[in-house]
Amino acid sequence: MLGWIDNQPTIIEVKNRVGLSALGQVLGYKILFNKYFPNFPVPLMMVVCETISKDDLDVLTENNIPVFIV
């Protein structure tokens, strides 16, 4: 999903259970967004999920990708 606040895009990966594949997905989407929309700001990234392991949460957090557990 892509969200906007004013002209700031945010790439949002939404899953029931998040694994390390979510990291690759948001990073890949960020690269593609920058490639196809170079005139926009670099997008922020976030993950929204129902469950996530502590290790996966640590990896996403270490890469400055906020995780919201709902």
Taking only the tens place, the pLDDT of each residue in 24-58 is: 999 999 999 999 999 999 999 999 999 999 999 99
Cα–Cα nearest to 13, from 47, 38, 44, 37: 47
| Packing angle of the helix pair 54-62, 21-36 (nearest 10 deg) | 30
Prediction pTM value:
0.91
Q: In percent, how much of the chain has pLDDT > 70?
A: 100
**pLDDT at position 54:** 97
% of the chain with per-residue pLDDT over 90:
100
